Structure 1
Amino acid sequence: MKDARYDRQLRLWGEEGQASIESASVCVLGSSALATEILKSLVLAGINSFCILDDAVVQNADLGNNFFLHVSDLGRKRGEATLAKLKELNPAVGGTWEDVSLEEWHDERMLYRLSSFSVVVASNLRTSTAAAISDYLFENSIPFISCRVFGLIGYIRVSVREHTVANSHEENPREDLRLDRPLPEFQAMVDGTDLAELSVDEIRHTPYIILYMKALKMYREKLSDPSAFPESYADRKALWGLIESMRVETDTGSTDAENFDEAKAKLLRSFQKTTVPAHVVEILNDAKCSSSSTCTQPFWIICTGLRKFVEKHHCLPLKGNLPDMTSDSKRYARIANIYHSAAVQDAREVYQFIREVERERGADSVISEDMCYRFCKTTDSIHVQRGSKISAESDAGKIIEFLAEENGDAQKKSAAEWLLLLLAADRFLQEKGRFPGTNGVPCTIDSADLKSRVISIVRRCNLNPDQILPLLSESGLPEICRYGAAEPHVISALVGGIAAQEVIKLATNQYIPLDNTFLYDGHTQCGATFRF
């Protein structure tokens, strides 16, 4: 039943990823339309439990943008009203609500309470409040996501001290055929294959990697270089000529053959030097992988074992995946078995190194051989992200840098302007007790007041407002005021879906999370990312 319910997502992150989701507990600060859209996606994905912290009361404005509220909910606590409907989406997910006021979120006791969750998500908190929560959670290594919807502007900020990714699921991963350093058993199979003795049908069903190895041998003999390997376009073109020479005619005079067509299509991807990617080298050189490290986190213990393997063999463990190719069943099965057996052997060696590291660091043996094998199949797609606190962007200096960049991307500069105006709107709220464009005040008046806040922010960055203000569009300030801090459902649904995706990435340690700020502009329907 469970497999049927989560069938599609199991294809995305596998049983291990789904198990991580089903053990995740998420705390959401707020119960607005944005918060419920985030929770909707997480509940449907099957998280273990969620907790809503909010003391807001359902008002008429909520009925217009939150599909989880009904007119009968008017006057009720908003978190309590949305809780019941969210739990209906997936009875297997536990959910609670706590009547906690905004001021209590700063309380040390409440901050300590937040540290018990897998991920904490905030909806529509002003930057200063989000920064205070981020400071605490960052130091305690709890992932924190702050999301906002302000009119047609959507904002997501991921703040995490360190996040490790065991599998980034690259769209076009490199094939690991090791043609430059072939497996001994496979090389023996190639050497034992004499194309001259094969029938036309057998040649037309010879796996293209055997054709590659035969052509590579001729290529090296032609150059009188036993280690030559085609790396340039000219080299690969010369190699392809040798492969073409192996074609044979059928009784009808045709030389068309699927395996040769595959060989041509896969030539560039297949003939890649066996190297350790730069980002993996950086991870293996991390202090947590050194012999003096005492880190006992499973990811870093595995990486330390992997480092020992790489130091010994100068390559990553073999993936063991053989791509589909035209072939007779017997030869394909034999090659697949060779690659699989070699991959298992490499994984076992890595596992032995891991056990050594566990003993050296006095760590519990929590890493199974099966876990190690799965890790070894994706070692070229591991990643480590080290983020920053939300306070890193609250001084606006970096935002203005993006805005003032002479040759910067126009879309990114436009997004930077909205980030600056959101900071100004928060300053407006802090000083006047309301957002610009609310309480019936004309937008022209609030626009002038908002502009003065922008000037104040720029001056605090020791910059000249006369140089920065001309960089702002004419419509930006009045548009923020026209929004009146509204939360349109269409923007909340989009931003909520993206934010839920980020929560799942953080919970599963799969796929690369946002690094670290995303802004969506509903006017242009474009987004931009920033790193603070």
Structure 2
Amino acid sequence: MSKSSAPDTKQIQYDRQLRLWGDHGQNALESARVCLIGANTLGTEILKALVLPGLGSFTIIDHQLVTLADCGSNFFVHPSKIDKSRARITCEFLTQLNPDVRGTYIDKPSIDDLLKQNTFNFSQFNIVITANLPMQTLSILANHLWTLKIPLIIARTYGFIGTIRLQVFEHYIIEAHPDDTIPDLRLDRPLITFLNYCNSFNFDCLTREEHLHLPSLVILFKTLQQWQKQFNRDDSPCTRIEKDEFKKLLEKFSHHSAYDIHDHNKSLENFDEAKRTIPSRLIKTNLSSTIKELFQDQSCLELTSQTDIFWFIIHALKLFTENEGQGLLPVRGEVPDMITNTNSYVKLVEIYQEQAKKDCEIVHNYLCDLLKKYNRLSNHNLNLHHLVQIYCKNASFLKVLRTTAIKNEDDLIDKTESDLSWYIGLHLCDIFYEKFHRYPGECLLDEKQFDIDLDDLKQISKQQSSKHIMSNNKQDILEELCRYGASELHSIAAFIGGCCAQEIIKLITHQYVPIDNTLIYNGIQQSTILLLCCLTLKFVNLLSIREPDNRQHNQTNADPIVIEVNWTAHDYNLHTIPSLQLVTNPLVSRQFSPVSKEIFANLKQLNAEYARYAVWFPYPKLAVAELDPPSGLLQCGNVGENYPLHLSCERNGGVISQIDFASYGTATGACGQMKQGSCHAENSSSIVQRICIGQKSCTIIAINDIFGDPCYGTLKRLLVQMECNPPQNNTYWNFTYMDPMLEDFLDATAGHSRIISF
């Protein structure tokens, strides 16, 4: 393996996320600029989840000073920073999480003054985020951003309730990453090269070995040819009777004259695979409903010099479909894994990839012609091949998301017995704020003030509601909201912040499908609901999409909704898995707290399915393992499979003099305490010694090509401990000491999924 093929530092740092959105998605994230308005608990949690994966830059707008209340829930401030600029303090801490991210802040003037002056350039940002911004300010900002066509994420936490609202004029989803895609193999309309390849096989002339390794795709197509000939058809079997006849033919082809008598009862894996994949292979190839809608969209049909490049490519795809594609999109170029020999599989991949390449080139030519026609072809977009490849590969899943504007949500229809009631309750709290300049239950002086605030909130509800009689459920919700007093709970802010960051990354990378409009999280019941605003008259009709539960939904007085079901189409699933996060804090540490034992006993009783142990500011030292002092002698390395291990004694002009330990397999242990695992390549030490002894530095790549494969199918690591001559001033840390609080956490969550964050 050459040095150029080894992963660089950035690939190692961002390895997991690169598997999700690729190099081009990471490049988009690293060049993105976001603006956060509100450096409160929720705002900093959102930015934290963006800074860690490598956001390009952020700007915080917040004129508030750090308060004692902030220190109780926001881990990016500290009591020593009270009365200092909250924007500056949080910006400094956030940038420490990832040195590659640039952060700036604006603490004067306030966001209200910036909007009044109308001089601040919001167009410099890819996305603007608000965290618990008052509705009056939010409405002005939202209207301004809607005009600029800048996406707006509105995040909010209010006690145990959290919401995320997306306002986007037009967002393009290029790589939707659907869960269960049907392979684009086109057996009903085969490629010419695939047809010729299949015709080169004659079942009667195959050897026993060829028959055993015949690709299931070829088996299906040859069977389909015979079925069409036998029944004088030109399509694929559709009914159950037709499919049964097809399976009989398939079973007939599985027998071969070259087999001996002992083979007749043998199950042939490639033919079993062919039978198993009939539902996903023998389907009619056609255009998806989403791409048909895009082809008929006004933006596609009426291109201008100002049209986004997305619609130019959609139009180029449309021209391809109407001409060379003969009603079909470009070939995707992917072949699913199957039981066959390597040569046969490689041949199939070459067939489909070659056709995909040809189709992509045609689409590229159409695109260039369109760009020339509208004077859009410049040096900046001359190299469009890679972009066109991505569009062609994902053509069946391209989508456009257009949400409603905030200004169209002034009134909400009255509904009860649903999480939607919480959303309506938050809307009523906003009206309360506009009237009294504080939220209900906030800054209470006595119990009487609570009752007064609750009565005022109920009165506002009656004025806004289409019904004047409050249900008991709704009264309970209003009382609960009044009790919250607009408080920020860190657990709710962390959950909403993480979800919000996911949606922002989707928008930046144009990958995966963002929420359509509004998501509500109920921390009491740990449930989510997605609201789609679909009609704005005097009231806004809201359709709710809820995760399945066993509760009976109440009927509402509304016109019936006609739902068309397509059993063969599947877009995507929205999954929400509630998890419990335990944050390092003196109040739950047994060194400091007299109630620590009870806290962890309750944690164990909760029986949480997912639990996270997190170390955040301002108490990072409590849960970080104690560190041993530098050894001054040993130097160790520990890398995963397929990664390079670098060892060096260059600091004092020394050389590598001794290899104390080397193991490629499942070895474990810190420096000075390494030990072999059950999987170990016996040649590990000799190979490392041969490469490194006597050298100032050496690099060894942890791969099977060098060490062999001591345990097939197991993820391996390379651990090495060596000494230098003369000794180097090396430093290693021994993480063998475990913090008592971490011990308590592991004990309380034994047997369940756990994540430890340092």
Do they fold alike, i.e. is TM over 0.5? yes
2:371 partner letter? E
Consecutive unaligned residues of structure 1, counting only runs of 5 or more, are: 405-412
2:110 partner letter? S
Structural mapping, 1:404-483, within 5 Å: 414-440=418-444, 441-442=446-447, 443-458=450-465, 463-466=466-469, 469-470=470-471, 472-483=473-484
Q: 1:317 aligns with which of 315, 320, 330?
A: 330
2:266 aligns with 255
2:341 aligns with 328
Q: Deviations over 1:264-299 (max 9, x none)?
A: 222111112111101111101112222654444211
SS at match of 1:245: helix
Q: Deviations over 1:104-133 (max 9, x none)?
A: 2432425x4222211000000123322221
Q: 1:103 aligns with which of 84, 109, 112?
A: 112
Structure 1 residues 362 and 209 mapped into 2: Cα distance closer, same or farther (>3 Å)? same
Preserved contact between residue 112 and residue 137 of structure 2 (Cα < 8 Å): no
Answer yes or no: is 1:357 the counterpart of 2:376: no
Structure 1 residues 44 and 292 mapped into 2: Cα distance closer, same or farther (>3 Å)? closer
1:166 partner letter? I
1:78 partner letter? R
Answer yes or no: is 1:515 the counterpart of 2:528: no
SS at match of 1:64: helix
Q: 2:392 aligns with which of 369, 376, 384?
A: 376
Answer yes or no: is 1:306 the counterpart of 2:317: yes
In the aligned structure 2, how far is the partner of 1:498 from the partner of 1:89? 19
Deviates more, 1:299-308 or 1:216-225: 216-225
Deviation at 1:355, TM superposition (A): 0.9
2:718 aligns with none
Structural mapping, 1:174-323, within 5 Å: 174-225=182-233, 227-248=234-255, 251=260, 252-253=262-263, 254-290=265-301, 293-312=304-323, 313-323=326-336
In the aligned structure 2, how far is the partner of 1:169 from the partner of 1:218? 36
Structure 1 residues 471 and 274 mapped into 2: Cα distance closer, same or farther (>3 Å)? farther
Preserved contact between residue 368 and residue 377 of structure 2 (Cα < 8 Å): no
Deviation at 1:472, TM superposition (A): 4.3
2:47 aligns with 39
Question: What is the TM-score of this pair, normalised by structure 1?
Answer: 0.93
SS at match of 1:55: coil
Preserved contact between residue 44 and residue 90 of structure 1 (Cα < 8 Å): yes
Deviation at 1:347, TM superposition (A): 0.4
1:298 partner letter? I
2:532 aligns with 531
SS at match of 2:190: coil
SS at match of 2:331: coil
Higher alpha-carbon Rg: 2
Answer yes or no: is 1:164 the counterpart of 2:180: no
Structure 1 residues 418 and 211 mapped into 2: Cα distance closer, same or farther (>3 Å)? same
Structure 1 residues 243 and 106 mapped into 2: Cα distance closer, same or farther (>3 Å)? same
Q: Deviations over 1:63-116 (max 9, x none)?
A: 111111112111211111111110011100000111132422432425x42222
In the aligned structure 2, how far is the partner of 1:17 from the partner of 1:370? 13
In the aligned structure 1, how far is the partner of 2:122 from the partner of 2:104? 14
In the aligned structure 2, how far is the partner of 1:39 from the partner of 1:232? 54
In the aligned structure 1, how far is the partner of 2:172 from the partner of 2:475? 43
In the aligned structure 1, how far is the partner of 2:94 from the partner of 2:293? 43
Deviation at 1:301, TM superposition (A): 1.0
2:357 partner letter? V
1:208 partner letter? S
Deviation at 1:248, TM superposition (A): 3.2
Q: Which has the higher helix share?
A: 1
Relative contact order (alpha carbons < 8 A, sep ≥ 6): 1 or 2 greater? 1
Fraction of identical pairs, as percent: 34
1:393 partner letter? E
Deviation at 1:471, TM superposition (A): 7.7
Preserved contact between residue 54 and residue 79 of structure 1 (Cα < 8 Å): yes
Deviates more, 1:253-262 or 1:373-382: 253-262
SS at match of 1:395: coil
Q: Deviations over 1:364-400 (max 9, x none)?
A: 2415112212211110111001122112222224xx3
In the aligned structure 1, how far is the partner of 2:480 from the partner of 2:426? 11
In the aligned structure 2, how far is the partner of 1:128 from the partner of 1:487? 20
2:65 partner letter? V
Q: Deviations over 1:437-474 (max 9, x none)?
A: 1222433332221111111222xxxx2323xx238434
Q: Deviations over 1:469-525 (max 9, x none)?
A: 238434201100111111100000000011111111111111111111011011110
Structure 1 residues 321 and 9 mapped into 2: Cα distance closer, same or farther (>3 Å)? same
Structural mapping, 1:48-127, within 5 Å: 48-99=56-107, 100-110=109-119, 112-127=120-135
In the aligned structure 2, how far is the partner of 1:500 from the partner of 1:50? 13
Consecutive unaligned residues of structure 2, counting only runs of 5 or more, are: 1-8, 534-758
1:286 partner letter? D
Structural mapping, 1:129-168, within 5 Å: 129-168=137-176
Structure 1 residues 147 and 291 mapped into 2: Cα distance closer, same or farther (>3 Å)? closer
Q: Deviations over 1:407-428 (max 9, x none)?
A: xxxxxx6221111111111111
2:435 partner letter? E
